[in-house]
Amino acid sequence: MKGSPTVRAARVYDTPAPGEVRVLVDRVWPRGLSREDAHIGQWCKQVAPSPELRKWYAHDPARFAEFSRRYRAELEDPERAAALQHLRALAQSHVLTLVTASRAVGISQAAVLADVIRGS
């Protein structure tokens, strides 16, 4: 795959698209979803935001810009940076879908990660 990688963010409960690699980027497993029904190729909890940042953010749309800034800073942590590099490598050869249980995918860590991987 040449050029910008194809990366998208979606809810873990959404129906998978053919040929995509789905990676769960939440720290905890989604409620009410069995592993068989999740259709997840990988679970990359190492790249999830810290519990402190997640609690502070609380998916408040007014805090999204600051959440995004803080989360991008957290992604420089060595363990998170290694996990992010793994996701970048996946995106070079697959259509990568970062999935989350969040109802507001557009203001979730999956959306931030997708932008980071795309180079935005």
Tens digits of pLDDT across the chain (120 residues): 456 789 999 999 999 999 999 999 999 999 999 988 889 999 999 999 999 999 999 999 999 999 999 999 999 999 999 999 999 999 999 999 999 999 999 999 999 999 999 986
- The domains of the chain are located at 7-118
Residue 36 confidence (pLDDT): 84
How far apart CA 65 and CA 42 sit, in angstroms, is: 28
Q: What's the pTM value of the predicted model, to 2 decimals?
A: 0.92
At residue 105, φ and ψ (nearest 5 deg) are: -60, -35
What element of type H or E holds 14?
A: none
Residue 1 confidence (pLDDT): 42
